[in-house]
């Protein structure tokens, strides 16, 4: 099932998501599959459950955008346990379509998470994968990428979104 992507302005995106406590259930397997499907349909490389209106600590990443299933990552209850170096690249978000900003992130990141069966694992990523790991982990804390840009730029984005919403072109 393809869910519509929730856009900035919906409170679910700015609330910390709830920790998952039950694993390996048909419902969880289905949700994770639906998240991949919804992400591919939206042409994204990462998706967090709050972005489909579900406030649970689950995110999926596929740097290949559906080209190579071996790159699929499911991160449940992820925690960043190591972050090193720096990178400054443009970043966007499916919940803020049309907006891209330079965002400073760590260059190399290790995340500890659980898979859909509840098994704990660690994943280390560099470059784009490090960025995706941080971006998706942020989502589960209720943080959007623009919390990493200057207050001035953030206000500009907020004002533009408000204008679009008024014109009925947002949401």
Residues that bind Ni ion (CB under 5 A): 93
- Judged by beta carbon, residue 42 or residue 116, the one nearer Ni ion is 42
- Judged by beta carbon, residue 93 or residue 113, the one nearer Ni ion is 93
- Judged by beta carbon, residue 59 or residue 77, the one nearer Ni ion is 59
Q: Is 136 a catalytic residue?
A: yes
- For the chain, how long is the longest CA-to-CA vector? 46
Q: Which residue is nearest to Ni ion (CB)?
A: 93
Torsion over CA of 106, 97, 142 and 42, rounded to 10 degrees? -90
Considering the complex, what minimum distance in angstroms separates the CB of residue 25 from Ni ion?
26
Candidates 89, 91, 126, 136; catalytic one: 136
Considering the complex, what minimum distance in angstroms separates the CB of residue 95 from Ni ion?
6
Considering the complex, what minimum distance in angstroms separates the CB of residue 39 from Ni ion?
10
Q: Which residues are catalytic?
A: 136
């Amino acid at each position: 099932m393809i869910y519509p992507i929730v856009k900035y302005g919906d409170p679910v995106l700015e609330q910390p998501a709830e920790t998952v406590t039950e694993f390996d259930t048909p419902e969880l397997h289905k949700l994770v599959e639906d998240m991949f499907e919804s992400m591919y349909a939206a042409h994204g490389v990462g998706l967090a459950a709050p972005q489909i209106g579900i406030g649970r600590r689950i995110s999926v990443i596929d740097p290949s955008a559906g080209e190579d299933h071996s790159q699929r990552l499911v991160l449940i209850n992820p925690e960043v346990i190591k972050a090193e170096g720096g990178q400054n690249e443009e970043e966007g978000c499916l919940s803020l379509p049309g907006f891209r900003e330079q965002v400073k992130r760590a260059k190399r990141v290790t995340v500890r998470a659980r898979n859909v069966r509840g098994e704990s694992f660690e994943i280390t990523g560099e470059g784009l994968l490090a960025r995706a790991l941080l971006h998706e982990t942020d989502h589960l804390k209720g943080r959007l990428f623009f919390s990493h840009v200057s207050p001035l730029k953030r206000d500009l984005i907020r004002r533009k979104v408000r204008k679009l919403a008024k014109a009925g072109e947002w949401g």
